[in-house]
Chain A
């Protein structure tokens, strides 16, 4: 068996004939000079059971190999893909990343543009909405669809038998309007707006379909002083009512409340002209 081995080796693996094989005469002579050359198994067993001092160097080198191998395994396992890559591959990877980053930046700026556009749109809408709400408040007070409060006067007109001349009443309201009355109601039951109509009725005055009787109470919001003056001048409302043998009481107040509401009516014939 041992005689066969060398032949097989030399003919089958000529490429593997490295440095270790070249030294074979010296080692072989040292090892087994006296007795018959031991078999491979015997040699292995003897090396394992009776290690010689020569093994220490081998052990040191194997120790280094162990450290290196474990480290490499750890590096290959834990490191990311780029650690083992060559410069050319890294440059290619970098180029790819740059291109994708450029694309992503483009996407970001596009989306930001869209966002800004939407935001400004939203701002415009909000402004328009606030404007519309404001208009609604102002117009609501004027049209009588919203309650109003503010400084003004409360005018109480007492006429015997509610026998008041319509013209005097209308004149009085016109004077109030002229003096800047912004919201008015009469007898806490009818809001006086642009469409309000006055008509003579039995034992009173028909205002917008409701018959009102003396005493007539007109609440008007505006500058109290102007409103009072507007009724008090010579030949004005107070004097007129005196002709009807009535009395007028004017109380300025800081807090007049006009709470009667009027249902808005959609115009049937009039249309907004462009």
Chain B
């Protein structure tokens, strides 16, 4: 319940504060958001599996975001930023689909 409140408060804060993103970080924000979503769905699935651990969640959340940003940064430096960020999005998307499938099976048994 507290977790759900946290998400709601975050969304509300984002709407109210309208924070400015530094121009250098702008390309990484979408990737970071998708990576964080992946971590959240992974945690959700682990929770339903009964294997959830908040320490693991924190570490995986942060490392997911950092690694995704690092890959995009590297891609930018190598001149394949657009392709690499597309690749990262695809991989994370596949993972999110797999986790959501597991969550669905837990909740709806289908």
Chain B, residues 3-37, CB within 8 Å of chain A (1/0): the string is: 11111111111110111010000110110110011
Give bound CA distance, A1 to B107, whole Å: 12
> In whole Å, how far is A172's beta carbon from the nearest beta carbon of chain B?
100
User: Which of chain B's residues have a CB closer than 8 A to the CB of A18?
Assistant: 42, 60, 95
> In whole Å, how far is A175's beta carbon from the nearest beta carbon of chain B?
97
User: Which of chain A's residues have a CB closer than 8 A to the CB of B15?
Assistant: 70
Cβ A67 vs Cβ B19 within 8 A: yes
Instruction: Kindly state whether residue A68 has any CB partner on chain B within 8 Å.
Output: yes
Q: Is the interface of B mostly helix, strand, loop or mixed?
A: helix
Give bound CA distance, A26 to B49, whole Å: 13
User: Which of chain A's residues have a CB closer than 8 A to the CB of B102?
Assistant: 9, 12-13, 16
User: Which of chain A's residues have a CB closer than 8 A to the CB of B60?
Assistant: 18-20
Within 8 A of A (CB), among B47-69: 47-54, 56-61
User: Which of chain A's residues have a CB closer than 8 A to the CB of B70?
Assistant: none
User: Which of chain B's residues have a CB closer than 8 A to the CB of A44?
Assistant: 47-48, 107
User: Which of chain A's residues have a CB closer than 8 A to the CB of B57?
Assistant: 20, 57-58, 61
Instruction: Known pairs A55-B1, A67-B17; list 5 more (Cβ under 8 Å).
Output: A9-B102, A12-B98, A31-B50, A57-B58, A83-B26
Q: Which residues of B contact A (CB under 8 A)?
A: 1-15, 17-19, 21, 26-27, 29-30, 32-33, 36-37, 40, 42-43, 45-54, 56-61, 76, 79, 81-82, 94-95, 98-99, 101-102, 105-107, 109
